[in-house]
Amino acid sequence: EAQVTQNPRYLITVTGKKLTVTCSQNMNHEYMSWYRQDPGLGLRQIYYSMNVEVTDKGDVPEGYKVSRKEKRNFPLILESPSPNQTSLYFCASSLRVNTEAFFGQGTRLTVV
Amino acid sequence: AQSVTQPDIHITVSEGASLELRCNYSYGATPYLFWYVQSPGQGLQLLLKYFSGDTLVQGIKGFEAEFKRSQSSFNLRKPSVHWSDAAEYFCAVGESSIIQGAQKLVFGQGTRLTINP
């Protein structure tokens, strides 16, 4: 089954404690991206990757890092989380940017 | 940079009534346009997309959307809504910049749809 898998689904952490949210897709897609969803703001892109070892900033990259060492995986790293990073995060993949994007189930992160 | 505006934050309609969700975009070239639906606690699912050609596109679940270049709009419609259509709907535009080499998808703020029985 074609899917994008994110882990964990829920996470509560403390300010400053490094964390990683994993994202994996099994569709051999080139394009992957991370979004955060906040009430009234829709989805805002954090980072995207057009292929292995090719990543770039989206609209709200501050406080986040990503890597793309393999085509299927695109982890999101918060080196020092802060409360304003409390949000719902989605990973997505698509063959190219202008084709259908497949979304993971989301990760609800709370930073206290 | 492009932008997407969904003027209606929340819409309530009765089951069986018709529906139109508005989407306006700002983009210099011919846009790639999408509508996604998010059910509670779920990720987003593609309803339909427009790349070129016929300006009226059909999607899943009985939805359709019409691209109107003169109005910079891509409104989503359904002739008769069902209680299962209650969800949040997002319009999105794809940007591909040859000069900058950037490719991104920009979403609107979303419209929450409530269905009255």
At B11-24, the pLDDT tens digits run: 999 999 999 999 99
C-alpha R_g of chain A: 13
Q: Which of B44, B50, B91 to mutate to test the interface with A (most CBs of A within 10 A)?
A: B44
Which of the residue ranges A82-86, A96-100, B48-52, B92-96 has the most confident prediction, judged by mean pLDDT?
A82-86
Using CB atoms, pick whichever of B94, B102, B109 lies closest to residue A41: B109
The strand pairing partners of B3, in sequence order, are B26
Residues of chain A with C-beta less than 8 angstroms from the C-beta of B108 = 42
What's the DSSP call for residue B79?
S
The predicted-structure confidence for B23-43, as pLDDT tens digits, reads as follows 999 876 767 899 999 998 888
Kindly state whether B32 is in contact with chain A, defined as any CB-CB distance less than 8 angstroms: yes
CB contact under 8 A, B107 and A105: no
Question: How does DSSP assign A14-51, residue by residue?
Answer: -TT--EEEEEEESS--SEEEEEEEETTTEEEEEEEEEE
> What is d(CA A112, CA A81) in angstroms, rounded to the nearest whole number?
9
Residues 47-76 (B) with a CB less than 8 A from some CB of A: 49, 51
Q: Which residues pair with B32 in a beta bridge?
A: B94
* A81 min Cα distance to partner chain B (Å): 23
Which residues share a beta bridge with B79?
none
Residues A35 and A57: their CA atoms lie apart, in Å, by 11
How would residue B100 be classed by pLDDT, with cut points 50, 70 and 90?
very low
pLDDT recorded at residue B51: 83
Per-residue pLDDT reduced to its tens digit, B61-85: 999 999 999 999 999 999 999 999 9
